[in-house]
Structure 1
């Protein structure tokens, strides 16, 4: 079994988007109802290169030659208690006008939240601040939505809620569970919040809800992540530093 990250799904220009890559690993493990997958990225995932998959019982490793790229394992889902309720879809759209990435973006090529991507080729999420220290963004999935796309949608909003605008960061670890697949063309709201920080590590939470108007909001999935502050000019797969 091999593992390839197409260049379309980059985060930094020379490596994979952490959420998409983590979601691809999770899809290979096929977690059951109520289960989550935890993915720990060990090095920036290279693009358009065939990587080896070492499957174990309930876990896997992805390797680039003898270099460990990531580890993934099935476990318990994050506790849903304390997840904030969503803002309205209109409020999530309005939050996009306050998206800090419109002013300065450490990785404008990012598949999830990059400002340099063409519509239809990437998610182009624009998470902006809302009341209570939360961030929110609107999302309408494209026809090609898949498990990797959901993880990518749950990824970058957490980084912006954790302060990526002031200190460039990359995804280190992500634990996510997806209860229901999104429907292409339907409106969704993504909420994001900071869970704390310690040195270079910054913790976030994210959740995606169906925007059903007057009906109770349906939680499709949620995630917890650890972000690592970095120098954006040095984020390259091992062996590819200038």
Structure 2
């Protein structure tokens, strides 16, 4: 049986399509088990989409067009040491998007988004290392689910764009291709969190990244792995 899914304009990545991490998180919530999401085409905003069972996973479609698919999946991730609060605070002052941002309206990392609208996660290089980035993030009360905790799709979103900035020195402009996140512990709105991401491998147009969310004491609350695909330009 099909289920309708609609991505509000607030949750864009490129101007006319959903942020990849947020969309992946919506599919993961429906899967209700560890999964990996593949993004096949830009999901349009403010449009009724169809979420359909497919084998042991799900497909997100617009009519016959496949937009995204989810399948059961688990990953192991080798993580560098968590940045300290001071390192993350310093790193975000080096955010590359302050000088030039290809997607300034992005829900997660867009510099044109106001506090309380976008997540405004501005990751910069940690201690001069170009392959690891970090920032601070304090999720707002509007991101809470019915249990009063930050909804899982927003944690998936928060782990998304930092991975791009970790691979960007090699990838150039890129879009999310495949993505999987794991939430270890619930997060309360208003918590002070450290966001970290790092490059793992680069193979042609494909670039793998890891990312993680930590409490201020370095305790892991969520992590993700992602594959980014280099592109020439964003057209939608």
For residue 196 of structure 1, report the CA deviation from its aligned partner.
1.1
For residue 180 of structure 1, report the CA deviation from its aligned partner.
1.1
SS at match of 2:50: strand
Report the TM-score when normalising by structure 2. Answer: 0.91
Partner residue, 1:211: 216
1:112-157 deviation digits (Å, cap 9, x = unpaired) = 1000111100101010001344111111111123111100110000
Between the two proteins, the alignment pairs up a number of residues equal to: 225
For residue 164 of structure 1, report the CA deviation from its aligned partner.
6.2
Partner residue, 1:125: 121
For residue 165 of structure 1, report the CA deviation from its aligned partner.
8.9
* Contact 1:104 1:165 (8 Å CA) reproduced: no
Partner residue, 2:147: none
Partner residue, 2:32: 30
SS at match of 1:162: helix
Superposition pairs for residues 26-105 of structure 1, below 5 Å?
26-31=28-33, 36-56=34-54, 58-76=56-74, 78-80=75-77, 82-105=78-101
Structure 2 stretches of 5 or more lacking a match?
144-149
Partner residue, 2:222: 221
SS at match of 2:73: strand
For residue 12 of structure 1, report the CA deviation from its aligned partner.
0.6
* Contact 2:50 2:63 (8 Å CA) reproduced: yes
The reply to whether residue 187 of structure 1 matches residue 192 of structure 2 is: yes
**Is the deviation greater in 51-60 or in 66-75?**
51-60
* Contact 2:171 2:230 (8 Å CA) reproduced: no
Paired with 1:148 and 1:44, the residues of 2 have a C-alpha distance of 17
For residue 168 of structure 1, report the CA deviation from its aligned partner.
1.1
The reply to whether residue 16 of structure 1 matches residue 13 of structure 2 is: no
The reply to whether residue 155 of structure 1 matches residue 155 of structure 2 is: no
Paired with 1:149 and 1:164, the residues of 2 have a C-alpha distance of 26
Partner residue, 1:198: 203
For residue 94 of structure 1, report the CA deviation from its aligned partner.
1.4
Paired with 1:26 and 1:180, the residues of 2 have a C-alpha distance of 16
Report the TM-score when normalising by structure 1. Answer: 0.89
Structure 1 stretches of 5 or more lacking a match?
237-242
